[in-house]
Amino acid sequence: MPLDPNQTHPLVLSDGTVLPDMVHLNQVIDHPNIRIGDFTYANDFDPPKNWAARLAPYLYPGAPETLVIGRFCQIAHGVRFITASANHAMDGLTTFPFPVFDPATIEGYKAGFTGLPDTVIGHDVWIGHGALILPGVRIGSGAIIGAGSVVTRDVAPYSIVAGNPARLIRPRFAAGIAERLLALAWWDWPPDRIRAAVPALLQPDIAALEALRPGD
């Protein structure tokens, strides 16, 4: 099977038709505050010219926080990451950002926002249609975020959450399986080993995947 992290549009039909709605994000985003692992893709029915602005509209270059997304993540249409720079100062009598609208004071206002929390998404995370990820959230590898969810707090690896605010629906696997998958970290394997492991990855038998671990 094809497995090319440098391919901008990874979905190619059997007749050779390339679907422009889907992109490998690290091939279309060049932003100093965004780091995205190989093979992570997003799908949008109205593909933007600026994918960074579409996904993280409040994250400006040089902001005091970052958005980190791991490898092999799947991001559906309408997902947004609301990073910490979207927040307004709340220690005054108003939250209206008056200094933003004055060129003489905007830089000082921006400088007041320091130490903001990063938003970190693990590996092999599926974020469903229209989900909203709020500032500073950390989502563990293998998690599934239900469509329309508003994620306000950290999500454990290999768990399914949904709702507003998002709550745990259930773990994806029986006890102990998530830990074994995290130990395997298959997303970091060499591409040829991942390619060989695809049949095992698509089945629920973790022992079959463990047998393919590099070095075994």
pLDDT tens per residue across span 38-85: 999 999 999 999 999 999 999 999 999 999 999 999 999 999 999 999
Name which of 111, 24, 135, 32 is nearest 73 in CA terms: 24
Q: Is 88 a catalytic residue?
A: yes
pTM of the predicted structure, to 2 decimals: 0.94
Does pLDDT of 32 surpass 90? yes
161, 151 Cβ separation under 8 angstroms? yes
- CA–CA dist 179, 182 (Å, integer): 5
- CA–CA dist 61, 65 (Å, integer): 10
- CA–CA dist 122, 74 (Å, integer): 11
**Catalytic entry in 31, 88, 123, 129:** 88
Which sequence spans correspond to the domains of the chain? 22-172, 173-216
Residue 107's CB: how many other CB atoms inside 10 A?
9
CATH no. of 22-172 = 2.160.10.10
pLDDT tens per residue across span 177-196: 999 999 999 999 999 999 99
